[in-house]
Structure 1
């Protein structure tokens, strides 16, 4: 069992599901608001390590999806500064156990890091927020 500091976007369905998986796996969570935390480039870079820049951005952010912001076209330092100014650009969640940090929720990576009850994961990949679709009645 790990004590995890878990930074989320409040109300995010994906983060809600990720927390459920972690709790079902026996972990304790200290949940914090990603949007109100006082980030700086140095601290954020600890969560990303040497990951490719594209993996550090929230792929569901409208600026990324629309092509307005192309992560491959900016430097790592510029990316970190943008994320400090606009935390919704950061891939979620950010997690910390002791001095170890991780960004995003790749099931295999999280399982290898702290252990997960894989039966609690379910069929839907909890990496990103689910798409919400609405059926139109005829």
Structure 2
């Protein structure tokens, strides 16, 4: 099983569900606070790979929801500058296993990458659930603590 570095917004119920799914598949999860991490543009950029800039953003971030920031209108440098200034804009979670980096929680991609099945067997990941939606969208309290599951 994999050692997963999991950058989250502490206290987010959606991130808690995601970590629980990874742990139930036998992975070791090291949770890190996405909001207080000392990001650089190069380090953050690695998580986005070849995805379009618009897919880098947390669509539930207040400035995105209000239309103040329109991800589709940004270039790479502008997007990174905004995210470094306001990490709440970063789509989460950010995942790292060894030298591979990913953004967002897409069960099919994660299952193919490190597996979500029990005892090393590939399972059909639950696709009906939106694994990136927080069940408590008004929950804004962030805990600086890191935890290991």
Cα RMSD of the aligned pairs, angstroms, is 1.9
Aligned partner of 2:135 in structure 1 is 130
| Structure 1 residues 132 and 58, CA gap change in structure 2 (3 angstroms) | closer
Aligned partner of 1:61 in structure 2 is 61
TM-score for the superposition, normalised by structure 1: 0.89
The answer (yes or no) to whether the contact 2:111–2:125 under 8 Å persists in 1 is no
- Could you list the runs of 5+ residues in structure 2 that have no partner in the other structure? 118-122, 139-149
The answer (yes or no) to whether the contact 2:8–2:94 under 8 Å persists in 1 is yes
The number of residues matched between the two structures is: 133
| Structure 1 residues 130 and 42, CA gap change in structure 2 (3 angstroms) | same
Shift of 1:127: 2.2
User: How far apart are the structure 2 equivalents of 1:15 and 1:103?
Assistant: 13
| Structure 1 residues 41 and 132, CA gap change in structure 2 (3 angstroms) | closer
- Could you list the runs of 5+ residues in structure 1 that have no partner in the other structure? 134-138
User: How far apart are the structure 2 equivalents of 1:35 and 1:127?
Assistant: 17
User: How far apart are the structure 2 equivalents of 1:51 and 1:98?
Assistant: 20
The answer (yes or no) to whether the contact 2:58–2:90 under 8 Å persists in 1 is yes
Worse-matched range after superposition: 118-127 or 45-54: 118-127
Aligned partner of 1:15 in structure 2 is 15
Counterpart check, 1:84 vs 2:84: yes
The answer (yes or no) to whether the contact 1:8–1:94 under 8 Å persists in 2 is yes
Q: Which has the higher helix share?
A: 1
Shift of 1:107: 1.0
Shift of 1:106: 0.9
| Structure 1 residues 132 and 100, CA gap change in structure 2 (3 angstroms) | closer
Shift of 1:126: 1.2
SS in 1 for 2:46: helix
User: How far apart are the structure 1 equivalents of 2:133 and 2:100?
Assistant: 22
TM-score for the superposition, normalised by structure 2: 0.83
| Structure 1 residues 94 and 132, CA gap change in structure 2 (3 angstroms) | closer
